[in-house]
């Protein structure tokens, strides 16, 4: 009889924004089932939001995610502006889109780097993270912070982007275009990456629709949804860009979608800068006197997919109910489809493929024999297992 072993991946790190525990139920090398546990660090942000004023909620929701910190204020601003029935100025809209797209760029590079590391491509990791640095520098120049930019408010943005900064962003984008071409070529033409990621962790279109997955996870399986196009907000309907999709639904398709989306983000930023130059400087916010009673639903396309905020107000200065749905909440559930049937060495990259802010929890992973409770692997060994598989493919094909 085959013995079932459980491999827990995660969690228990209070500093990580998304502590999570995956239990991989394995028979031999094959993953037979996966279960998920959370709540180790439930921060009660929805409840906390009810005790804050609307202006304070922006700072609270900005701290939900450390990597895509602007996507929650973005969705919350859309939501509150729906209730208050106001529309920001064009200049504010352009600035919002620039911040949103810069964030998508740095988040996608972060993912490409991590995915490279999991696969044993540390050069890809170093390259991607090197290219990410100038984007963080731009954030520091614009907002004073490399992360948590505090740019959003109801009715506009807090800081303007001046002519000098526009020049710097333009220069950074033109540099980045060449680097992105190099990186995209290196990743998409590599036969070993093909061997490790093609046909691995497949999600069919029906799978992503059933699990209501969003973002690159959905788009890589041929489901063409993108809030920026479907329900345009900020300046996304004022610029020309296209939604990137792939049909295969495997890890490679998800990488492809993200890498090609980077080109679209650069295109959007450049057009927004053109728009910004035509708008009067300093016209970045309108006054919103009060928030009436009502309900609002705001969403925004974060790097990982749709962020959704629902707010119910009663005419006071705080939300009565604030529901937040981050994209990982629906994307992580697809692991059940993506990982079952895979080998343990492919499970690492299949789990990482939906970009679930995984880097820190990964270090705390370990595996043990279900029967004897004897430790089998820890997190580093799981990554090593994945890297070893790449090495074997390289050797077999003499690459």
Using CB under 8 A, list all residues that contact other proteins.
37-39, 42, 44, 46-47, 82, 85, 209-213, 225, 230-232, 294-295, 297, 299, 306, 308, 310, 312, 320-321, 323, 325, 329-330, 333, 336
Q: Which is nearer to other proteins, 194 or 336 (CB)?
A: 336
Query: For every residue of 194-258, which 3-state class applies, written as one string?
Result: HHHHCCCCCCCHHHHHHCCCCHHHHHCCCCCCCHHHHCCCCCCCCCCCCCCCCCCCCHHHHHHHH
Tell the smallest beta-carbon distance from residue 61 to other proteins (Å): 15
User: Reduced to 3 states, what is the DSSP secondary structure of residue 152?
Assistant: strand
Q: Which is nearer to other proteins, 43 or 375 (CB)?
A: 43
DSSP character at residue 349: H
The residues near 50 (Cβ < 8 Å, ≥ 6 apart) are 318, 319, 320, 321, 322
Q: Which is nearer to other proteins, 194 or 321 (CB)?
A: 321
**Beta strands 4-9; 293-302: pairing state:** unpaired
Tell the smallest beta-carbon distance from residue 83 to other proteins (Å): 9
Q: Which is nearer to other proteins, 52 or 132 (CB)?
A: 52
Tell the smallest beta-carbon distance from residue 363 to other proteins (Å): 22
Q: Which is nearer to other proteins, 38 or 285 (CB)?
A: 38
Tell the smallest beta-carbon distance from residue 350 to other proteins (Å): 18
Tell the smallest beta-carbon distance from residue 211 to other proteins (Å): 5
Q: Which is nearer to other proteins, 187 or 234 (CB)?
A: 234
Answer for the pair 119, 349: CB distance below 8 angstroms, yes or no.
yes
Tell the smallest beta-carbon distance from residue 337 to other proteins (Å): 9
Nearest-5° Cα angle at 95, 89 to 101 = 135
Q: Which is nearer to other proteins, 78 or 387 (CB)?
A: 78
- Rounded distance between C-alpha atoms, residue 6 and residue 171, angstroms: 50
Tell the smallest beta-carbon distance from residue 22 to other proteins (Å): 14
Neighbours of 227 (CB within 10 A): 22
Please provide the size of the chain in residues.
399
The residues near 129 (Cβ < 8 Å, ≥ 6 apart) are 109, 110, 113
Q: Which is nearer to other proteins, 213 or 344 (CB)?
A: 213
Distances (CA, A) of 239 to 160, 215, 227: 20, 20, 15
Q: Which is nearer to other proteins, 137 or 237 (CB)?
A: 237
- Rounded distance between C-alpha atoms, residue 150 and residue 154, angstroms: 12
DSSP character at residue 121: -
Tell the smallest beta-carbon distance from residue 32 to other proteins (Å): 17
Tell the smallest beta-carbon distance from residue 183 to other proteins (Å): 30
Tell the smallest beta-carbon distance from residue 213 to other proteins (Å): 7
Q: HSE-up of 338 (CA within 13 Å, CB side)?
A: 33
Q: Which is nearer to other proteins, 267 or 325 (CB)?
A: 325
Cα dihedral across residues 380, 382, 386, 388: positive or negative: positive
21: left (phi over 0), alpha (psi -120 to 50) or beta: beta
């Amino acid at each position: 009889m085959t013995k079932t072993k459980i491999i827990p991946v995660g969690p228990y790190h209070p500093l990580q924004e998304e502590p999570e525990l995956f239990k991989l139920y394995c028979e031999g090398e094959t993953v037979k089932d996966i279960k998920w546990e959370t709540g180790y660090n439930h921060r009660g942000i929805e409840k906390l939001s009810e005790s804050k004023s609307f202006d304070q909620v922006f700072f609270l929701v900005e701290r939900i995610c450390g990597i895509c910190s602007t996507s929650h204020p973005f969705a919350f601003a859309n939501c509150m502006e729906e209730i208050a029935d106001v529309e920001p100025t064009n200049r504010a809209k352009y600035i919002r889109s620039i911040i949103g797209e810069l964030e998508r760029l740095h988040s996608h590079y972060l993912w490409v780097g991590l995915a490279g590391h999991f696969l044993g491509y540390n050069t890809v990791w170093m390259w991607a993270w090197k290219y990410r640095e100038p984007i963080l520098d731009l954030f520091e120049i614009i907002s004073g912070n490399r992360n948590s930019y505090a740019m959003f408010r109801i009715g506009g943005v807090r800081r303007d982007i001046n002519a000098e900064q526009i020049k710097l962003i333009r220069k950074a984008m033109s540099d980045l275009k060449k680097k992105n071409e190099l990186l995209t070529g290196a990743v998409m033409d590599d036969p070993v990456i093909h061997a490790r990621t093609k046909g691995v962790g497949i999600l069919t279109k029906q799978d992503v629709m059933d699990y209501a997955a969003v973002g690159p996870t959905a788009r890589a399986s041929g489901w063409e949804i993108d809030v920026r196009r479907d329900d345009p907000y900020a300046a996304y309907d004022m610029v020309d860009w296209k939604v990137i999709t792939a049909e295969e639904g495997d890890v490679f398709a998800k990488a492809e979608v993200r890498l090609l989306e980077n080109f679209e983000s650069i295109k959007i930023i450049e057009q927004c800068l053109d728009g910004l130059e035509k708008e009067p400087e300093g016209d970045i916010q309108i006054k919103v006197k009060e928030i009436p009673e009502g309900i609002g639903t705001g969403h925004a396309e974060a790097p990982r997919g749709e962020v959704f905020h629902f707010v119910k107000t009663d005419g006071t200065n705080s939300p009565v109910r604030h529901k937040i749905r981050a994209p990982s909440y629906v994307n992580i559930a697809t692991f059940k489809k993506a990982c079952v049937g895979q080998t343990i060495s492919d499970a690492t990259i299949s789990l990482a493929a939906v970009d679930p802010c995984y880097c820190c929890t990964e270090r705390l992973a370990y595996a043990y024999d279900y029967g004897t409770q004897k430790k089998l692997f820890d997190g580093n060994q799981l990554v090593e297992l994945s890297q070893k598989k790449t090495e074997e493919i390289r050797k077999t094909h003499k690459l």
